[in-house]
Amino acid sequence: MDIMDDFSKEDQLLGEDQVVELRAIMRSLQRNMIDLNTYYKRLAEFWDRQGFPEWAEEIMERVKD
């Protein structure tokens, strides 16, 4: 049983395509394919595209240039 089974489809934040994309971003960091700054930038871009610019801004505060 998945915890997401408790939510109706309308209540879920992300669609299947977005979940796949988000997991790919996280997996690339776990496999050391990208550095932490690149991870934060990609994550911020992802959340901005999903309509959560405030989450993107918060994540971008972690980027160290």
Other CB atoms within 10 Å distance of the CB of residue 41: 18
CB 46 within 8 A of CB 21: yes
Q: Which of 21, 65, 9, 29 is nearest to 47 (CA)?
A: 21
Q: Higher confidence at residue 13 or residue 36?
A: 36
| pLDDT > 90 fraction of the chain, expressed in percent and rounded | 69
Section 39-58 average pLDDT: 95
pLDDT in tens, 19-31: 999 999 999 999 9
Q: What does the angle CA 21 – CA 54 – CA 40 come to, to the nearest 5 degrees?
A: 45
